[in-house]
Every structure is written in structure tokens, then in C-alpha cells.
Structure 1
Amino acid sequence: MSESLDITREERVTIFTINRPEKMNAIDKDLARRIQDGFAEFDECEDQRVAILTGAGEKAFTAGADLEDFPELWRCMPGMGITTTKPVICAIDGHCIGGGIVLAALCDLCVATRRSKFLYPEGKVGMTGGLIASLAARLPHKVAMEIMLLGRAVSAERAYEMGLVNEVVEPGQHLNAARAMAAEMAAMAPLVLQTLKQTVVSEMLTPAPAERMGRTMRDLDRVESSEDRQEGLAAFREKRQAEFSGR
């Protein structure tokens, strides 16, 4: 647990709660890394089978990237910095803005309350990271373009019609609904669910260019932070043969 991210375990389910309600749960550099690291630990834990990603407070699930401390958003995106093949459920209450919509789309399932609003305003502020194009591989073309190009607020009911949301519930009930979904999946054969998810993500969905870039950044980051890199640099300085470990 940290100030900006709460991680709790309920039997076989791990709940990640973005905890910056004073900032509408906007994701800064530190939080993006914490989410990435938390999911890596979740993925390695054999008794944890399903994850839920939600936000603290009633105002927002997340406002996306914190513009005052712009993060590497790929770090906290499923299929990029988050590499788990276990099911991930997004539980939304309040506003879901910018990169938050990408998060919701890249999760496997999504629950939202009736008061939730989805907004992608980047055309109005003159900037984009391009990850939003991933919607076009997950939603029908025209509805994906409706979110991206018009920049209008989309209600939870409309998001359900679009296929962005699986279930719409009363305010405050999003986490309970997500828990119910998670409990169902946690009781199933984990290898089957993981295989089905991996097949869909790897073989059925066409990644957007920014999504492919995020995966490349993930792979390069793994090398950059590796023990082998440190060993290689040390061996070069010390004029000796490097002894690599593959870590």
C-alpha cells in the first residue's frame, strides 16, 4: 500500500485502488510505476486469480494523466506495462477521462455506475499520446470515433450500448458488482481463462501504433533496469569478461 495506491487482497482477488481523490485520481509518474509494480507482484502470486482496478472517492475513477507530472502511461496499461494474463476488471464510479478510457477499454471487463461519465477531451486541448486509438480494435468503428473525435461526455448507459461497459449499476455499487464477477472467475480453471485471454489479446486484437510502442518501451525498460546491464557496464569499466545471469 502507498499514499497513491491501495492494494488489498480478498481471498483470490486483488483490488487496486487509485487513491488520489483530491486530484480526481489522476495518474502521475510515481503512481504509474506503482501500478505496474503492483500488477507484477499480483501476476507472480499463484493464489491470486483476478484483479479489480478502481478509484477512491465518488468524483472520478481517474482523470487520466496528471498534466503537472506527466507519466509514462504505458506502464499502467494492460497489455503494455501490465503483462498479466489473469482477468482484470475495471470498476468505475464518477468521471473517466482521457487515459482512463484507455484503461477501461484495455481491461477485460468493466462495471460502471449510472452517474459515471466518459470523456476524451484531447482534441479540445491540442494533445494526444495516441493510445486512445486502441478503442478502434475493441469497439465498432463509428462509436470509437464518436468518443475520440467529438469529445462529448458519454453516459454510462451509452458506454454500455457501445460495448465499453459490461454492466451498469447504482452509484456506489460498482465494486460489489466487480467483486461478484471476480468471484465467479476465481472459482474457474485459471489456465483456461488465461489461455482464452492470451489468445484474444495476442491473436484477435490489432494493436494501435502507440500500443505497439508501449510494448516496445516495456521490453526496452526491462533491459535498461536489468542486472545484466549493470554487470555489462561494470565489466567494461573494469576491463574484464562480463558474467551475465539473464536477470
Structure 2
Amino acid sequence: MTAINAAIAYESRDAIALITITRPEARNAINNDVVQGLHEAWRRFAQSEDRVAILNAQGEQAFSAGADLKDLPRDVWLAMPNLSVPCDKPIIAVVNGFAVGAGATAVMLADMAVAEEHASFIYPEAKIGAFAGIMGGFAPRMQYKAGLEWLMTGDPMNAQRAYEIGLVNRLAPKGQGLGVALEVAGKIARNAPLVVQAMKSISRSVLPKSSTETYYPQRVMLDRIAQSEDQKEGVASFREKRAPQFKGR
């Protein structure tokens, strides 16, 4: 297992990428290290020979307690699977305790999920008056009425209910979630990768997206322009009253 940074580890095992949040002492709360580490992990996975990724977390208490109030993450969308880094390879989340806020959002955006039987899903934004908007894309990924009740009440949802409404694929006894996910990932990894990737690509192309999901890829493009040498050159040439020399970078 290789540490990407202080909060995220990456391991390749039999064509399966194990991506692990390593902050059990903070209930795997999402801080800036988690955001940057997961973003790098998604990039590494997309470019690797690994065929399936599993997102899991250390400890028994929490998959993620959500945003770290002691180190509020910037650009939390960078940490989300299937959002900041396009990838046609499947991603499986393993929930081994609480999945709160942005942690629950990561589970929702993963392609599949395994939850241990003691797991609990909490989305408290309606109770605290904050909403980033990404969870607005829940409707194609779980039953609409049940999902909307969960979001609007802010009440915890147990693993059994998450399974019933389609947020998770499988339930596992405590401590066995990763093993179940590895079993599923192994079956997928042994199948024809081009077919598996085409299945995900076509399925996602017809999956309705929230406005937030549509906006973020555009934001990546616009941020790249804003930080480019060409933009600096354009401003400088305007001030110096000369023709710009753009380089496409």
C-alpha cells in the first residue's frame, strides 16, 4: 500500500485498486488532504491498468464523518468518484460505519456500494441550512420518494433501508464489507475490460444528471483557462497594446 499523502493510500491488487481514507482518528472526516489525495487517486486509477476500484476507509466507526470542521475542505467535489475525473472503469464504495454528508455523497456517486450491517447514512444539510448541491443527483440512483424523505428530514438511514431503496448493492456482516467488495470486484476484473467499460459508459450516458454534475466538468475547463499562461498573456498584451502570442497552455 502506497501513501498518496497523509490521508489517502493506494494499492493495486490483482487488477483492483484499493483506495483507502486513512484518518480513523478523525472518523475519516474529509479535509483538504483527503480531497487532494482522493483526486490524485482517481487520476491514478483512470490512467492505470487496474480494472476496478474500491473506495474504503480505515477503522470501524466511520466510512466518513463528512467535512472536517477543523479543516474545511476547499473544492470537495474533487474528491468525489465519477465527478472530477472521468472514468469508465467501475468504482465500488465500502461503508464500514457512519457515512455523513459528503461521505454519503461519495457513496451515492460510486457505481456500486457494499454496506456493513451496522452502517448508517446521514445527510444533515437540511437541518443545518447548508447544501452544496451534489446530492441533488440522487434521484436516478435510489428510489425518489424514499431518497427525498431521507434528504429532507435529515434522519439517519440504516444499512437495511439503504439496501431496500437501492443506495447500496449488498449488505455484509461487520468487518466483512471489504471482503464482499473484493469478491465482487474480482469477478468484474476477470471479465472483458472493454465490455465492462462500455457498459458503464453507455449506462452513465443515459443516466440523468443534476445541474451540479453537469456544471463541474465545465468548471474544470474554465478553471484551466483561468489559470492558463494564455489568459495571463491576453491580459498582458491588452495592457501593453500589442498582439497576443498564445501558446495553448
Whether TM exceeds 0.5 here: the answer is: yes
Unmatched 5+ residue regions in structure 2? none
- Aligned partners of 2:35 and 2:73 also within 8 Å: no
Q: Indicate the residue corresponding to 1:8 in structure 2.
A: 11
- The within-5 A match list for 1:38-57 is 38-45=41-48, 47-57=49-59
Q: Is the 8 A contact 1:76 1:82 kept in 2?
A: no
**What is the CA deviation profile of residues 65-123 of structure 1, one whole-angstrom value per residue up to 9, with x for unaligned ones?**
22332331211222321311100000110000111111111111100101100111111
What is the distance in 2 between the residues matched to 1:177 and 1:60?
18
Aligned to 1:70: 73
Q: How does 1:57-206 map to 2 (within 5 A)?
A: 57-68=59-70, 69-202=72-205, 204-206=206-208
Deviation at 1:179, TM superposition (A): 0.7
Moved more, 3-12 or 63-72: 63-72
CA contact (8 A) 1:60 1:94 kept: yes
Which sits farther off after the overlay, 146-155 or 213-222? 213-222
**Partner residue in 2 for 1:220:** 222
Distance 2:21 2:191 in 1: 27
SS of equivalent residue, structure 2 residue 149 = helix
Aligned to 1:233: 232
Is the 1:27–1:71 Cα contact (8 Å) retained in structure 2?
A: no
Q: Secondary structure at the match of 1:194?
A: helix
CA distance in 2, matches of 1:240, 1:12: 51
Q: Distance in 2 between matches of 1:41 and 1:66?
A: 24
Q: Which amino acid aligns with 2:229?
A: Q
Q: Percent identity?
A: 33
Q: 1:178 to 1:134 in 2, by over 3 A?
A: same
8 Å Cα contact 2:233/2:246 also seen in 1: no
5+ long unaligned stretches in structure 1: none
Is this contact kept in 2: 1:102–1:132, CA < 8 A?
A: yes
Report the CA distance between 1:23 and its aligned residue: 1.9
Aligned counterparts of 1:212 and 1:232: Cα–Cα separation in 2? 24
RMSD, matched Cα? 1.9
Counterpart of 2:223, as a letter, is D
State how far apart, in whole Å, the 1-side matches of 2:244 and 2:123 are. 52
Aligned partner of 1:230: which letter?
Answer: E
What whole-Å deviation, never above 9, does each CA across 1:201-232 have from its counterpart, x for those lacking one? Answer: 12x2211122222222222234445xxx2256
Q: Distance in 2 between matches of 1:198 and 1:113?
A: 28
Task: Give the whole-Å Cα distance in 1 for the aligned partners of 2:68 and 2:85.
Answer: 19
Rounded Cα–Cα distance in structure 2 between residues aligned with 1:70 and 1:130? 16
Following the alignment from structure 1 to structure 2, what is the Cα–Cα distance between the partners of residues 91 and 65? 18
Contact 1:51 1:89 in 2 (8 A): yes
d(CA) in 1 for partners of 2:75, 2:108: 18
Distance 2:151 2:129 in 1: 13
Deviation at 1:38, TM superposition (A): 1.6
2:114 and 2:169 in contact (8 A); partners too? yes
CA distance in 1, matches of 2:141, 2:96: 21
Aligned residue identity for 1:33: Q
| 2:25 aligned partner | 22
Q: State the aligned residue count.
A: 241
Q: Counterpart of 2:89 in structure 1: which amino acid?
A: K
Cα distance in 1 between the residues matched to 2:119 and 2:61: 9
